[in-house]
Amino acid sequence: MTRRVSIFGATGSVGLSTLDLIRQHRSKYQVVALSANGNARAIAQLAREFDAELAVVADESAYAELKEALAGTTIEVAAGPQALIEAARRDADWTMASIVGCAGLPSTMAAIEAGKTVALANKEALVSAGELMMAAVRRSGAVLLPVDSEHNAIFQCLAGGKIDQVRKITLTASGGPFRAFSLEEMRAVTPAQAVAHPNWDMGAKISIDSATMMNKGLELIEAYHLFPVGLDKLDILVHPQSVIHSMVEYVDCSTLAQLGSPDMRIPIASALAWPERIATTCKPLDLATIGQLTFERPDQLRFPALRLARAAITEGGAKPAIMNAANEVAVAAFLDGQIKFLEIVALVEATLSAYVPDAPKGLDDLFSIDAGARHYARRELEKLTSGN
């Protein structure tokens, strides 16, 4: 049977990788809806190529351009935040949620509340709204498929196993470009150095998160919600080669690991075809050429983001959302040259201490917390920059 799919964030790296896989297996998939933020020309071109039923831009000012670009076709056109929500409720078998940041939350929640199968590539959504999102999954019976390479690896390792028979889940981390740097060397790190990831081809923001290991802290929060084994059973191990993407150890001391080349199309393909598999053109592993796989414990002193993430999980409530929002402000400030590398996590920690709102009861509360966290983070940023 042809699987009906919708892709939110279709012009981003995950969305384009998903479409690349569909391009290789056109007979298996029918595209229902495609969305972009405001790039009307790009989303129109993709909608035409994949014969989509609907094309949506979040930015309403791009509506006229999109309408004109799709004139003469039968493709429906829509714009605005509400249009994204309505598109997410459409009759699709599988939905890719890859809109970046909290902007992707309403459409993702709409798809979940409609009981859809949702492939989740939006890290911020689960970090900020994990409790709300998982409660919605339980209510609607939706299926949540993780797309992050680490969480998809865990998902694959749990196939055929039972969650109550898990002794430990280990997320692997590359360690980023400064794994072997001293604290003194890290103080002098430049944005150009920090965006140069040794293994993955990623955008600036996520590359900085990898360099501070905040990315792994956010993934720890994701794993806590996706795989309910308890925080004490979640571990992080630095694995510089990025070949093993995560591991699951069972009570009998058997450990299963998922291996693959560092190519996001591999976990996307796993989610796209689940519970089956599809062929990809990704580079196969050549372990003989790789030669060796090494592992080490992360240094909590040089990478305090991991400590903050565990504290955010333990405290719960608004803390994960504050951590996520403050980190976005801090990373932007570092890329702009306003603060130093080690001050990124320091700013996040200061914001977590300064801002203590009540736990969110719904998305409106969550967006208010997100805005409040950014306000407090900018206030802390002013204190830092005035002293630099």
Which of 118, 146, 174 represents a domain boundary (last residue)? Answer: 146
Instruction: Say yes or no: 259 and 153 in one domain.
Output: yes
Per-residue confidence (pLDDT) for residue 206, from 0 to 100: 84
> What total of structural domains would you count in the chain?
3
Residue 277 belongs to a domain: no
**pLDDT beyond 80 at 130:** yes
Q: What does the pLDDT read at residue 50? A: 98
What average pLDDT does the segment 108-125 reach?
Answer: 94
Residue 88 within any structural domain of the chain = yes
Q: What is the CATH number of the domain that holds 71?
A: 3.40.50.720
Last residue of a domain, one of 99, 118, 146: 146
Same domain, 139 and 200: no
CATH number of 382's domain: 1.10.1740.10
- The domain in which residue 16 lies consists of 3-146
Say how far apart CA 341 and CA 191 lie, in whole Å.
8
Residues 31 and 88 in one domain: yes
Statement: residue 388 has pLDDT above 60:
no
β pairing state of 143-146 and 234-238: unpaired
Within this chain, do residues 73 and 174 fall inside the same structural domain, yes or no? no
For the stretch 50-104, pLDDT in tens is 999 999 999 999 999 999 999 999 999 999 999 999 999 999 999 999 998 888 9
Cβ–Cβ < 8 Å for 282, 261:
yes
- Tell me the sheet residues that pair with 236: 171
Residue 114 lies in a domain: yes
Which pLDDT score is estimated for 198? 66
Specify whether the backbone of 230 is left (phi greater than 0), alpha (psi in -120 to 50) or beta.
left
pLDDT at 200 over 80: no
Q: What is the pLDDT of residue 56?
A: 98
Q: Is residue 276 part of a domain?
A: no
Q: What angle do CA 282, 283, 287 make, to 5 degrees?
A: 140
How far is it between the farthest Cα atoms of the chain? 62
Task: Give the pLDDT score at 287.
Answer: 94
User: Distance (Å, rounded) from C-alpha 187 to C-alpha 345?
Assistant: 12
Q: CB under 8 Å to 266, separation ≥6 — which residues?
A: 149, 260, 280, 282
Q: Of 240, 272, 303, which one is at a domain's C-terminal end? A: 303
Q: Are 245 and 358 in the same domain?
A: no
pTM of the complete model: 0.93
Q: Name the 3-class secondary structure at 30.
A: strand
Whether residues 320 and 378 share a domain: the answer is yes
Instruction: State residue 19's pLDDT score.
Output: 98
- Claim to verify: residue 186 and residue 220 sit in the same structural domain: yes
Does 279 fall in a domain?
Answer: no
- For position 207, what pLDDT does the model report? 87
- pLDDT tens, position by position, 236-286: 999 999 999 999 999 999 999 999 998 999 999 999 999 999 999 999 999
CA 93 from chain centre, in angstroms, equals: 21
Say yes or no: 116 and 11 in one domain. Answer: yes
CA separation for the pair 260, 285 (Å, rounded): 6
Q: How far apart are CA 341 and CA 358, in angstroms?
A: 30
> Which of 56-81 are b and which e, b meaning 16 or more Cβ less than 10 Å from the residue's Cβ?
bbbbeebbebbbebbeeeebbbbbee
Query: Going along 186-293, which residue ranges are E strands?
Result: 234-238, 244-250, 255-259
Answer whether residue 310 is part of any domain. no
**Do 153 and 142 share a structural domain?**
no
Coil, strand or helix: which one is 321? helix
Q: Is residue 350 part of a domain?
A: yes
Rounded average pLDDT over 180-196 = 91
Q: Which helix (H) or strand (E) holds 120?
A: strand 117-120
In a domain, 270, yes or no: no
- Of 160-169, 189-198, 219-228, 297-306, the range with the lowest mean pLDDT is 189-198
Q: What is the mean pLDDT of residues 340-364?
A: 96
Other C-beta atoms within 10 Å of 254: how many? 11
Q: Are residues 295 and 153 in the same domain?
A: yes
Let me know: does 377 contact 325? Beta carbons within 8 Å: yes
Q: Smallest Cα–Cα separation from 95: which of 72, 119, 75?
A: 119
Q: 24-38, 172-186, 318-332: which range is least confident on average?
A: 172-186
Does one domain contain both 157 and 299? yes
The mean per-residue pLDDT over the stretch 1-14 comes to: 95
Tell me the average pLDDT across 119-146.
Answer: 95
Do 168 and 252 have their domain in common?
yes
136 vs 368: CA distance, rounded Å:
20
pLDDT grade for 133, boundaries at 50, 70 and 90: very high
Tokens 């002013």: give the residue.
Answer: 382
